[in-house]
Structure 1
Amino acid sequence: MDTSAQSAGGQSAAMRLLLACGVIAPLLNIVVVLILGAIRPGYNAWIVPDSNLELGPGGWMQITNYIVTGALLLAFAIGMRLRLRTGRGSTWGPILLGIYGLTFVAIGPILPDPSLGYPPGASSALTIHGAIHSLFGLLQFTSLIAACFVLARHDEELEGRSWSWYSVATGLLVAASYVAFVLSAKLSDGGPTGLIERIGIIAGGIWIALLAIRLMSRPASRVSVK
């Protein structure tokens, strides 16, 4: 029996499982955020950020969602590094997406401060854990935006300009949504803060899922770049 072939087959199956986590993680997060935002009493998804779903009755569901999503993203980053052994973005792409995953794990137990009227009647005074949560949120969006631009170079090298442009466009959209989210949150009534944030979440999540699918379907011979 060819043990080397068995080993290669096992590694390939394990790698595909890790890469599949990149499809599951963002879609899980999007679905959970949309469902919880729609069914939570007193919560207005148009105005309130998704992280506020960690507060109030049923907050454990969003906390769990963040932690599970983060763990899956970390698994995907490992699989991505194993897949992209050389070439542009092969090091920093997985690192940045690994950081992105870590921020989800961190903001799970580190709760945000109440804001924009949710939970109803709760004080919106700034706390240490709320400030740390916000800093991890900034790191989360920054690492995703950076990953889009880093992997745009990789896409241009292996996939062509269309995928490269898509990565750049996603990075710009996520960056614009974050800036608009911060500015909108400063309005007295909050404006469409929750909607703006969800645009960035969905755009970035779809980009990661498509990236994972492309890596899973790419022939092994195209992994290395001279």
Structure 2
Amino acid sequence: MTTTTAPTATCDPAIAVTRSLLGYGILAGPFYVVVSVTEALTRSGFDPTRHAWSMLSNGSLGWIHIANFVLTGLMTLAFAIGLRRALGTGAASTWAPRLIAVYAISLIAAGALRADPGNGFPAGTPAGPGPMSWHGTGHFLAGFIGFTSLIVACFVLARRFAADGETRWAWSAWIVGVLFGLGFIAVAAGGGASWSILAFTAAVIMVCAWLAAVALHTYRQAAPQL
């Protein structure tokens, strides 16, 4: 009687590294949102309708949000590297990872360049926006560059998804890019109005969730075919 042995799955080291890097993209967005929401709910004097999450970098516990920025940026940078490896050639294979890498670096810069306190936060800060410092200006510029890069990355990835016949993913990329852009414009032009801060916060949560979903989708596609 002849016995057959099922083929043993082998782990391609290159695929394993790519999937590990993509895994950081699955974690980055949820990590940033969970830490930020926890801070927003527990930091004395913080009002989500009046204060953007970036302002959590101020005060005696500001180091937590600074670390949040830096760690999220490093995880997003790892994701960008993994995405470059996973996409191979074709539409968006070069520019989507590069644009996401710029966004990742902007997060690290946003941690290093603390947002200015204002509107009564942290406790003891006068009401109103207050003067803009050099690091506050740097924080704004880092955000502008990073968010613009991320918006463009959404549109570039939409082209890749469309080329691959993934229509729903292509539409999601277009929608997220447009909505995130509108959220960024709202907070930049809203003059600190509650609606603009809430709109931007919702846009940040949306784009973080979408990037995590894209990372998970790409992670699954990078699985070895047995």
Output the TM-score relative to the length of structure 2: 0.89
> 5+ residue gaps in structure 1?
none
Q: Does 1:172 align with 2:198?
A: no
CA drift of 1:141 comes to 1.2
The secondary structure found in structure 1 opposite 2:12 is helix
> Larger radius of gyration, structure 1 or 2?
2
Q: Does 1:57 align with 2:60?
A: yes
- Equivalences for 1:104-123 in 2 at 5 Å? 104-122=107-125
CA drift of 1:126 comes to 1.4
Equivalent residue for 2:169, pick from 163, 171, 176: 163
Q: Does 1:89 align with 2:95?
A: no
Cα pair 2:119 2:125 within 8 Å, conserved:
no
Residue equivalent to 2:74: 71
Instruction: State the distance in 1 between where 2:74 and 2:113 align.
Output: 16
The structure-2 alpha-carbon separation of the partners of 1:88 and 1:221, relative to structure 1 and needing over 3 Å to count, comes to farther
Question: Cα deviation per residue 1:83-104 (whole Å; 9 max; x = unaligned)?
Answer: 1110110000000000010011
Instruction: State the distance in 1 between where 2:77 and 2:114 align.
Output: 21
- Equivalences for 1:204-215 in 2 at 5 Å? 204-215=207-218
For 2:171, the aligned partner's letter is W
The secondary structure found in structure 2 opposite 1:80 is helix
For 2:166, the aligned partner's letter is G
CA drift of 1:214 comes to 1.0
Range that drifts further, 120-129 or 22-31: 120-129
Q: Does 1:100 align with 2:103?
A: yes
Equivalent residue for 2:138, pick from 125, 132, 141: 132
Output the TM-score relative to the length of structure 1: 0.89
The structure-2 alpha-carbon separation of the partners of 1:167 and 1:112, relative to structure 1 and needing over 3 Å to count, comes to same
Cα pair 2:69 2:110 within 8 Å, conserved:
yes
Aligned-residue CA RMSD (Å): 1.9
Aligned pair count? 214
> 5+ residue gaps in structure 2?
1-8
